[in-house]
Structure 1
């Protein structure tokens, strides 16, 4: 699992995940992702286009980060999931708790000031 962060216009941060959010993949990025997503108040888009598998531990990582950001007054949203990942997130009801967008542009529009 790989994790990269870039800054977009309007002070939006995009986290780009690549690989599998299975136990090994989640463990590989858990500390750096958790710190980056909750250290300060921010608007964050998690780009899931490079994630081809997500397990419950990966969902927990995303949910914990989204809750942490919400407590600070920020927002974390999910974008561009592959079909299998989208189906897992929707089946688990994550899309009812954390906004899930088809693409980065739609997520940016939601986070725009």
Structure 2
């Protein structure tokens, strides 16, 4: 699992995840992901490169989203693919964190 971050045009932080977000993947990014997410008010998590999402990966996303919310921030999940999106929807995470497939819309929602 790889993690990178950059700043989008309107100022939101984009976290780009690539690989398998399983037990090993979650362990590899957990601390860095949480630190970047909580340090920013508006975060767009780009899941386009995530090929697999397991329960530990869901936990990583949920914990960061809740931590951001308590600090007045907002996280948006951007362009999850196929089975990854199905896992997000089935788990109910989409009720806590918006799932959006357009980058400009994702950034706008994160900045709300």
Do both share a fold (TM > 0.5)?
yes
**C-alpha RMSD over aligned residues:** 1.2
- Please list the CA deviations of residues 54-103 of structure 1 after superposition, one character each: whole Å capped at 9, or x if unmatched: 00000010010001111111101101001110001001111011111123
Q: Deviation at 1:109?
A: 2.7
Other-structure match for 1:23: 23
Instruction: Report the TM-score, using the length of structure 2 for normalisation.
Output: 0.94
Q: Matched residues in 2 for 1:86 and 1:103: separation?
A: 14
Other-structure match for 1:106: 105
Q: Matched residues in 2 for 1:47 and 1:93: separation?
A: 18
- Aligned to 1:29, the other structure's residue is in SS state helix
Other-structure match for 2:14: 14
Q: Which segments of 5 or more consecutive residues in structure 1 lack a partner in the other structure? A: none
Count of residue pairs the alignment pairs up: 112
Other-structure match for 1:44: 43
Q: Is the CA contact (8 Å cut-off) linking 2:76 and 2:109 kept in structure 1?
A: no
Q: Matched residues in 2 for 1:37 and 1:95: separation?
A: 17
- Please list the CA deviations of residues 23-58 of structure 1 after superposition, one character each: whole Å capped at 9, or x if unmatched: 0111111111111111x3410000000001000000
